[in-house]
Amino acid sequence: MEDYILEEFNYDKYKNIEDDNRYEIIEGRLYNLAPSPSIFHQHVCGNIYHKLRIFLQGKECIPFISPVDVILAPKGAEDKDIKNVVQPDVFVICDKSKIDQKGIIGAPEFIIEVVSPNTSARDYLIKLKLYEKYGAKEYWIVNPQEKSVAVFIQAEEGGFDRGRIFFHPAVVKSSALPGFEMSTEEIFSNI
């Protein structure tokens, strides 16, 4: 079940929330990210981040792991006009001009969301469309329960392709980061 607040939200309201919970704003809707992710979710995120960090060492791109605000709005947009602020589980930035004091301004080149029971619909439907709209080059949806990875790649004519699902055992290769690949064994180890 989705946990969001009906009141219209923007980045101005978001940055002034006075509690310790984590939130995202998608199309002006505030989503509560509580409860905290499961141990399995965190292991999977850690496995992916670790492999990306090793792969990208000495290269231009930088991997990040949540929580980091990713503001999906044009550079220079006023806080009151920003309606999309997300915290992808793991992501990669290659254009360092997107890195700002607020977080990341604009879509990461490569985004990975790890599905949990509370975020499934958001990851597969809402965020898929959001990341596509803002021009992410590649989006992986990792499902620890199914031991699967759904991969969506930005097509030449714009928008994501129809996607491809890899079930364990498999090797998943990135097109946004040529040479990066991860086996499902590596992704799901320790769970």
Residue type, 72: L
- Assess if residue 31 is contained within a domain: no
pTM, two decimals, is 0.94
- Tell me how far apart the alpha carbons of residues 107 and 130 are, in angstroms, rounded to a whole number: 9
- Tell me how far apart the alpha carbons of residues 154 and 161 are, in angstroms, rounded to a whole number: 6
Quick check: 182 and 172 in contact, CB under 8 A?
yes
Q: How many CA atoms lie within 13 A of 189 on its CB side?
A: 10
- Assess if residue 42 is contained within a domain: yes
Q: What CATH number does the domain containing 168 carry?
A: 3.90.1570.10
- The residue range of the domain holding 178 is 37-187
- Assess if residue 57 is contained within a domain: yes
Q: Tens-digit pLDDT profile for the chain (191 aa)?
A: 345 566 899 999 999 999 988 999 999 999 988 788 889 999 999 999 999 999 999 999 999 999 999 999 987 899 999 999 999 999 999 999 999 988 999 999 999 999 998 889 999 999 999 999 999 999 999 999 999 999 999 998 889 999 999 999 999 999 999 999 999 999 999 76
Residue in this structure with the two tokens 């958001």, named with its chain if needed: 122
- Tell me how far apart the alpha carbons of residues 173 and 56 are, in angstroms, rounded to a whole number: 15
Render the burial of 157-184: b for 16+ CB within 10 Å, e for the rest: eeebeeeeebeeebebebebbeebebeb
The number of domains in the chain is: 1
